[in-house]
Structure 1
Amino acid sequence: MATLLEDIKKQSDWTVKAFKSDGIELDYSMGSLIEIDRFLQKYTKDGQPIKGGRLAKGYGGKIFSIGSYIGETLIKNVPDSKWITDDDTPEGEISIEVNLADGTRCWPVMRLMKRIKNGLEDGIYPYGVSLTNIKADEKYDGAFWRIEKEIQPIEPKKPWWKF
């Protein structure tokens, strides 16, 4: 059985591949977190995954995978940062923690769940930038604030046999 740390690395890479299959490039830059917010804007509504959307099936596993990508992005942008995991706790996948080099602690999966519940007001990109703004060598991208106008949640299509 794999450890949480091994699963984090594997699922983070899976997230990159899954998004790429939709034509979305994730490159572990802080700016790539905007793509996570765009994805969530498209496939969630009122705090829930949209029926028939990318998060509808395998929700828990996908949340862990995307949260793993978020944490890996923070770690790659802030040298000397690391994961803190506990393989013995039943909520281990939810409570994975990133400790940044300056002692800042964050919980990417929990933040992702909060983003889904509350929408853009708890955006992943501003969260990541606020945690790393002094440490990461990347400027804030105001494109985040256009997401709400540019992307509307998908509306599931009725099966053709339902009139």
Structure 2
Amino acid sequence: MRFLNKILKKDNGNKKKSNNTLEEDIPLASDWVTKALNSSGYKADYSLESMKEIDRFFDEQNSETGLLSKNGGMILFSLGSYIGETAIKLYGGKWITDDSDPQGEINIAVKLSNGTVIWPVLRCLKRCKQGCEESIYAYLFALKN
């Protein structure tokens, strides 16, 4: 069962199994986190500048009482989906997913038009664990040619 079932697929309070693929879940997660970020005072508009807002989110919400302490996996997948979708909008490319991978949500990747491959969810995990030196903004900025 994909983690998005927790927020998107409910039947009278009971979770229903979804047959969504990762490729189907990615835009749903990206849209969900975009709305959540914007309603919480972060500017999420699929721009390179919005990656500074993602860094700010990590700085403000990565604590014992922050949002990342609750439903962290769901939030990291959604943020990674947003980052990947932003990279595709900025630089062109496509998602690489493997629905047979038990950790497929973590291992989703984007192959950019120039052949570069990035792993947005893994980068979010690094940002969470290692702090600002793993800047999301710098990660996408460095991809500019």
Higher relative contact order (CA 8 A, sep 6+): 1
Matched, 1:18 2:36: yes
Matched, 1:5 2:17: no
User: Which structure 2 residues correspond to residues 51-62 of structure 1 after superposition, within 5 A?
Assistant: 51-62=64-75
User: Secondary structure at 1:88's aligned position in 2?
Assistant: coil
Matched, 1:97 2:109: yes
Query: Where do 5+ consecutive residues of structure 1 fail to align?
Result: 45-49, 135-163
**RMSD (CA atoms):** 0.8
Identity of aligned residues (%): 50
Counterparts of 1:8 and 1:54, CA distance in 2: 20
Which has more helix, going by share of residues? 2
Q: In the alignment, which of 103, 115, 120 is matched to residue 108 of structure 1?
A: 120
C-alpha distance after superposition, 1:92-141 (max 9, x if no partner): 0000000000110110000111111111111000010102x11xxxxxxx
Runs of 4+ that moved beyond 4 A: none
Which residue number corresponds to residue 78 of structure 1? Answer: 91
TM-score between the two structures when normalised by the length of structure 2: 0.85
TM-score between the two structures when normalised by the length of structure 1: 0.76
Structure ID, larger Rg: 1
Query: Where do 5+ consecutive residues of structure 2 fail to align?
Result: 1-18
